[in-house]
Amino acid sequence: MTKPEVTIPDSAPPADLLIEDLVVGDGPEAVSGQPVEVHYVGVSWSTGQQFDASWDRGDTFGFRLGAGQVITGWDEGVAGMKIGGRRRLTIPPHMGYGAAGAGGVIGPNETLVFVVDLLGVG
């Protein structure tokens, strides 16, 4: 797979987590409690600007699914993916970084859009 382009719809952001399978994988499924390995691109809904991408660092990102190591939108949105899958997650502020934002690159109460590729589980 190659780094995806992420576009923001010309509409109001959703109030709840929106999960869209762009490619359905055919490998093992990601389940809560397992370590997973992903590539991702993250874009702010309000600006359409990328704020982070593992692709740009040339390295994947690993975390334990469902363990609170990532934002809630990721823990819920990556669950059920299969290796080889690509999923678009539109994450409302209450499942992202909320009123605090993050690191000066994600504004307060920002809706986040990620395209996540599942590369490994277990």
Residue pLDDT, tens place only, 81-102: 999 999 999 999 999 999 999 9
Residues 41, 7 contacting (CB under 8 angstroms): no
Is the pLDDT at 45 greater than 90? The verdict is yes
Distance spanning both ends of the chain, measured CA to CA: 21
3-state secondary structure of 87: strand
Rounded Cα distance, 90 and 35, in Å: 22
The alpha carbon of 62 is separated from its chain's Cα centroid by a whole number of angstroms, namely: 12
Rounded to whole angstroms, how far apart are CA atoms 33 and 63? 10
pTM: 0.96
Q: Which residues are identified as catalytic?
A: 40, 51-52, 71, 97, 114
